[in-house]
Amino acid sequence: MLLYIGSTIFVLFNAMDETESRVWNGLFWVIQLFICINAVAKSFLQESRGRMLYFYSIASPGSFVLAKLLFNSLLMLLMSLLSLLLFVLFLGNPMQNAGQFIGLVLLGGWSLSLVFTFLAAIAAKAQQNAAIMAVLGFPIIIPQLLLLMRLSSAAFSPLLTIPLSTILLLMALDILVVVLAVILFPFLWKD
């Protein structure tokens, strides 16, 4: 995973000379999206049948999916911070308001990881790996990604402030995802 982040950002570094802050922002979120798909897709697709059966015998579906969500959120938060660090190192630092942007990166990483964890659970049942996850996930994530990009562009200029209502909206969507995952996962669990 670390290598994946490193090499992707290094390719970007070689492809672009100097990036404008808007391009930087767009690239950053797209890379975030792909990192998330690669990091989170593993969580369900790599589990062997035997291990799933073992989990099935020791845990309830609700607690199992909550554990998965928690683990993937932490993983994604770490990955987000790392990729942010590499972005700043290789592609420069156009941020005017670094604190706000880091907060948004953490929030965005969390949202992405929650949505894709649940989609990975669905994709694992469909037996087709990463391709179906992209097809299922991209349309669903676009609205959140659009909001995140818009919010984070505010961190690049000293004049704009980030509206609190939009952040609350994103958090509400995250909570909605968790609730839905707990309700719906038992139906995917049985095989």
Partner 1 sequence: MHKSWWKILSVLLLVYTFTAGLLMNVPRLPPLQETIRNLYFHVCMWFAMMILFTVSVVNSVRYLRSFKLKYDIYARQFAVVGILFGLLGYSTGAIWASFTWADPNNSIFDNFKTIARDPKLIGAAIALLVYAAYLILRDSVQDADKKARVSAVYNIFAYALLFPSIWILPRILPSLHPGNNGDNPALDVKNDISGSMRMVFYPAVIGWTLLGVWITTIKIRLNLLKEKTMLS
- Six-digit token pair at 48? 């062997």
Q: What residues between 103 and 132 interact with partner 1 by CB under 8 A?
A: 115, 118, 122, 125-128, 132
Three-class DSSP category at 164: helix
Site track 149-178 with partner 1 (rule: CB under 8 A), x = hit = -x---------------x--x---x--xx-
Phi first, then psi, for residue 186 (nearest 5°) are -55, -30
Q: Which stretch binds partner 1 (CB under 8 A): 6-14, 31-39, 91-99, 182-190?
A: 182-190
- Cβ neighbours around 50 below 10 Å, total: 8
Please report the sign of the dihedral spanned by the C-alpha atoms of residue 172, residue 174, residue 175, residue 177. Answer: positive
At 68, the amino acid letter reads K
Q: For residues 26 and 85, what is the distance between their CA atoms, to the nearest angstrom?
A: 16
Q: Which helix (H) or strand (E) holds 146?
A: helix 130-153
Among 50, 139, 158, 164, binds partner 1 (CB under 8 A): 139
Q: Which stretch binds partner 1 (CB under 8 A): 20-28, 76-84, 92-100, 140-148?
A: 140-148
Q: Taking the complex as a whole, how short is the minimal distance between the CB of residue 154 and partner 1, in angstroms? A: 13
Please report the sign of the dihedral spanned by the C-alpha atoms of residue 162, residue 111, residue 69, residue 48. Answer: negative
The nearer residue to partner 1, 74 or 126, going by C-beta atoms, is 126
- Cβ neighbours around 46 below 10 Å, total: 11
Q: Taking the complex as a whole, how short is the minimal distance between the CB of residue 187 and partner 1, in angstroms? A: 5
Q: Taking the complex as a whole, how short is the minimal distance between the CB of residue 172 and partner 1, in angstroms? A: 8
Residues in touch with partner 1 (CB under 8 A): 115, 118, 122, 125-128, 132, 135-136, 138-140, 142-144, 146-147, 150, 166, 169, 173, 176-177, 180, 184, 187-188, 191
